[in-house]
Amino acid sequence: MAEFIFMLTHHDATVADALDVYEELRGTALRHVGFKDIGATKETLTELTRRMHEDGRTVYLEVVSVSAEDEIRSIRAAREIGVDVVMGGTHVDEALPLLSGSGIRYYPFPGRIVGHPSVLEGTTEEIAASAAALTGHDGVDGLDLLAYRHAGPVEPIIDAVVQASRGPVVVAGSIDSAERIEAVSKLGAWGFTIGGAAFESALPAEPTIRAQVEWALETAARAAARPSRAHDA
């Protein structure tokens, strides 16, 4: 089953009312919740993390900073906030020493990441080679793949990265339909994220955050029976 990670984010930033949104979702079956490293104060993210851990959920921080200096600052903040997984980022050699001994799992971006909001560039072969190289590092536990932010055919990229990776692959960004959730599950990705689509009520459910999130959970569960090549997290 492809796990659903709900991101408290829109336009690549944590939403201003993230604490209130999370309160609306506390009683759902969500197991995984995340946020970005921009758009909210460290104090807000720390409180979010405390509440999520209190509820038994896994907490993700996705790094979308574009400079090495900002990425390092975000990873240091992630340690202080106490998240379970850092996703994203491209400066692996700088990040790994900062995460060493923290117990935080690390899923950087494979491929060439450009701009903000981030997009993925490179051929399928280049992105798969990047995935193999990254997961060959001690301390890289999985990958954060911006597959649907690539200009070319997406499913071959997901397939190639899942095959090349030595750890779980999370497909992040621009997932807004049952067809995309089913494709991610079929191709063996460990998980996927949805954030902005839910805040824009783009999913085929009632226009509330809770209904949008519950639809994504139910759709992921329906896709679970299909064969896949998913890695364990």
Tens-place pLDDT, residues 97-137: 999 999 999 999 999 999 877 899 999 999 999 999 999 99
| Domains delineated in the chain | 3-223 (3.20.20.60)
Q: Per the structure block, which two tokens stand in for 164?
A: 């090349």
Question: Strand ranges (DSSP E) for 26-101?
Answer: 32-36, 58-63, 85-88
pTM confidence score: 0.94
Q: Which residue has the tokens 């336009």?
A: 11
* pLDDT per residue as tens digits for the range 91-106: 999 999 999 999 999 9
Question: How much is the average pLDDT of 202-216?
Answer: 97
Question: How much is the average pLDDT of 56-73?
Answer: 92
What lies within 8 Å, CB to CB, of 5 at 6+ separation is: 32, 33, 34, 60, 170, 191, 192, 193, 194
For the chain, give the mean pLDDT.
94
Query: Nearest to residue 154, comparing CAs of 175, 137, 133, 136?
Result: 175
Position 129: which residue type?
A
Question: Strand ranges (DSSP E) for the chain?
Answer: 3-7, 9-10, 13-14, 32-36, 58-63, 85-88, 105-107, 112-114, 119-121, 143-145, 169-171, 191-194
Q: Per the structure block, which two tokens stand in for 79?
A: 């340690």
Distance CA 144, CA 12 (A): 14
Distance CA 10, CA 67 (A): 21
Answer for the pair 142, 169: CB distance below 8 angstroms, yes or no. yes
Q: Residue 231 pLDDT > 80, yes or no?
A: no
Least confident segment among 9-13, 48-52, 157-161, 196-200: 9-13
Distance CA 54, CA 46 (A): 12
pLDDT classification of 66: cutoffs 50, 70, 90: confident
Query: Nearest to residue 31, comparing CAs of 10, 48, 53?
Result: 53
Strands 3-7 and 9-10: unpaired
Q: Residue 65 pLDDT > 90, yes or no?
A: no
Distance CA 40, CA 48 (A): 11
